[in-house]
Chains A and B, each alone.
Chain A
Amino acid sequence: MSLVNIKIEGVSYQVEEGLTILEAARACGYDIPSLCAFNHGECNQGSCRVCLVEVTGARGLVASCVYPVNEGMDIHISTPKATEARRRSVELLLSNHNQNCQQCDKNGKCELLHVATLTGAREGAFAGVHSETHLDLLAPGLVRDTSKCILCGRCIARCSNAHGMGILGFENRGFRTFVSPAENRSFADSPCIQCGQCVNVCPTGALMEHSEIDKVDAAVKAGKHVVIQAAPAVRAALGEEFGYPVGTPVTGKMIAAMRRLGFERVYDVNFGADLTIMEEGTELLHRLSDGGVLPMITSCSPGWVNYAEYNYGDLLDHLSSCKSPHQMQGAVIKSYWAKQMGYAPEDVFVVSVMPCVAKKFERQREQLKVNGLDDVDAVITTRELARMIKRAGIMFNRLPDEEWDQDIMGDYSGAGVIFGVTGGVMEAALRTVYFKLTGKEYGKIVFEEVRGHDAGIREASIDIDGTTVSVAIASGMKSAKILLDEIREGKSKYQFIEIMGCPGGCINGGGQPYVRNCFLPNEDDNILDTYKEKRAKALYSEDERQVIRQSHNNPQIIELYDKYLGEPNSHKAHELLHTTYAAREGFND
């Protein structure tokens, strides 16, 4: 790596060649306000003009996010000219922004508000006409409100980087430009998989999850028996909303907080994850022994299921018929638990806390209903749970660590915990499949070869007592597409594939806390490269702490089958825990 000599505010530094001024300045301890730039050029348009600095000898001010450093460069960040230009850029963005910050759920995590404060933007500096705005409230997962959009293009870049899809684009031009799916359609009428990756990178409140907090409030008010259940990945990230370092597991405090919010039961979706493994593992064994459709592909990720239904309608037989863990658990709560409690299923209201916005879509799927009832009645994201905790005045950081409600689904195995990270479902399934095939536990417990924390494809051949099982793991639709095209062409060599919609799996889901350098001053500068690994570690460490590491050894799972379901893939299990899929048109009318 070669170095170049530069000066910032008259002080000499040596920095890596090829860095932009913005990156070089950060490495030297200067944070230049910026908006459109995101993580090493994932989005770098130089369009927002918020990061302008003065460079001696350059013609005019330069956008530091796109301008590379070179030998002898003399950079000035805080000259009156640069300071004023940055303020003016922000004021121009604000002049076409609705500025209803008090009512905006992004408040506190809004980068536009942050740079407005940093640059000292003045009220009404450029009063005038606003461009026409568009509000999309039709999609269950996400909301698009162009009155808050600053046209930075980060969402467009993320959709195509993560998925190769490009659902969003710029429409029209000049003052009439806005960001939208083609034809200014709703996300609901486009092939959008509602994963929420665009929400995760939006600097303002233009793209948000479709909040269901009101639904939860209404159920409590109506006197329903409200049960809450939280997915594995939530505990690995919720702490970030309360100032904990990224990757701090906060399971105990999270349980305590949910209990203080007044829910009748606080359950872990890990139980549902263990149940999924029992069903899915059995399904895989049946497919292997009976000449069923292979490779079998996991079906836990609703973003991925959406993608399959839109783009690979011919391959839907490959998807496991298993519902996702929280749907399975919801079905069990409304049947088994409700019966034990003497409640009518209609009076039970199940809330899922998910790292995901596609789950909001999933819970409304017709194919998941049991006796006309939804398994799950509201899905809130990790961020929404944090909002509810703050709203209730619960001082999260001072809470004691508490345990899940134990009555019928309090136990969980380490296998359930790791569902939240790419490769986790695969590993959990292998632990159980190994046992079912050999009659003994896998000695090492851990299948290191399927672990990871990022997008891309991993593959492994697992030898189970002479039977070789070839598996592959992909997260993000760009990677998944490669495996799917292989299947379509008849070239796939795998028996079992795990696919997660979001790159890295649920730990990086579209409902997780926003990761931004400017709001995480105590994290390393490269936190956008490391947060997935840190959150994954939080889950792997919880797996290690568990006494029970395999789903089939969870005593309450065994009890549920003994007392209620019979055996995995039984008639009763199929009624409650399995589902179907149907091909869909992307641009429907």
Chain B
Amino acid sequence: MIKLSNSSVLKIEEICDRYKDEPTPLMMILSDIQNEYGYIPLEVQELVSRRTGISVAEIYGVVTFYSFFSLTPKGKYVIGCCLGTACYVKGAQQVIDKFSEILEIKPGETTKDGLFTLDALRCIGACGIAPAVSISGTVYPKMSVDQVPKIINEYRSREAQA
């Protein structure tokens, strides 16, 4: 079990209280926590449950339903490969497979060094530039399998210099 620090407990309780007048506050609370901490482990869900009266199982259900929420810490760089219909027919599966192969992780996982998380996304609305990949906010249009090693190396060397 992770022990939450006092300041985290206060912060999370404050987030819960922000939406105490909302009829269905759960999504907003979880969204704020995800943005604040990058993930929502069970200990945090228990805290939210105590504060809001919503059962842990229901919170856990919501967290595991939406791919935006994460149970484990995400890597420094989150690689989102769109697998929507347009990207898929343009070869997105091969692109994500290549990321998977080089990083040695499956979609949804994070590399051991904590640098990369690989996510499979549903349509991100960028069909015109399919297949699209977004890495921590930067969008890479019309990705091909050949570009994958180069992009990974860019981030790795950027990290080495830092």
Contacts and interface: CB of A to CB of B under 8 A. Distances in A.
B60 interface: yes
Given A182-B42, A182-B45, A587-B46, A170 B56 contact: no
Interface string A569-589: 000000000000000001101
Interface stretch (A40-48, A63-71, A160-168, A284-292): A160-168
Interface residues of A, dominant DSSP: mixed
Contacts of B54: 166
B35 interface: no
A165 B61 CA distance: 15
B1 interface: yes
Interface string A148-159: 000000001000
B36 interface: no
Contacts of A160: 55
Contacts of B45: 182
A167 B61 CA distance: 11
Interface string B38-75: 00001001100000001111111100110000000000
A180 B64 CA distance: 12
Contacts, number: 41
Contacts of A172: 64-65
Given A171-B64, A173-B65, A166 B42 contact: no
Contacts of A463: none
What is the size category of the interface that chain A forms with chain B?
A: 10 to 19
Contacts of B57: 156, 166-169, 180-182
A465 interface: no
A555 to B, nearest CB: 50
B42 A171 contact: no
A524 to B, nearest CB: 34
A407 interface: no
A14 B154 CA distance: 74
Residue from A180, A587, A589 having most chain B Cβ neighbours under 10 A: A587
A172 B61 CA distance: 6
Nearest to B43: A587
A183 B57 CA distance: 8
A173 B68 CA distance: 13
Nearest to B54: A166
A167 B46 CA distance: 12
A182 B65 contact: no
A160 B60 CA distance: 15
A172 B56 CA distance: 14
A172 B60 CA distance: 9
Interface string B106-146: 00000000000000000000000000000000000000000
Given A169-B55, A182-B60, 16 more contacts: A156-B57, A165-B55, A166-B58, A167-B55, A167-B57, A168-B57, A169-B58, A169-B60, A170-B65, A171-B64, A173-B64, A180-B57, A181-B57, A182-B56, A182-B59, A587-B46
Interface of B: 1, 42, 45-46, 54-61, 64-65
19 contacts: A166-B55, A166-B57, A166-B58, A167-B57, A169-B57, A169-B58, A169-B60, A170-B61, A170-B65, A171-B60, A172-B65, A173-B64, A181-B57, A182-B45, A182-B56, A183-B42, A587-B1, A587-B42, A587-B56
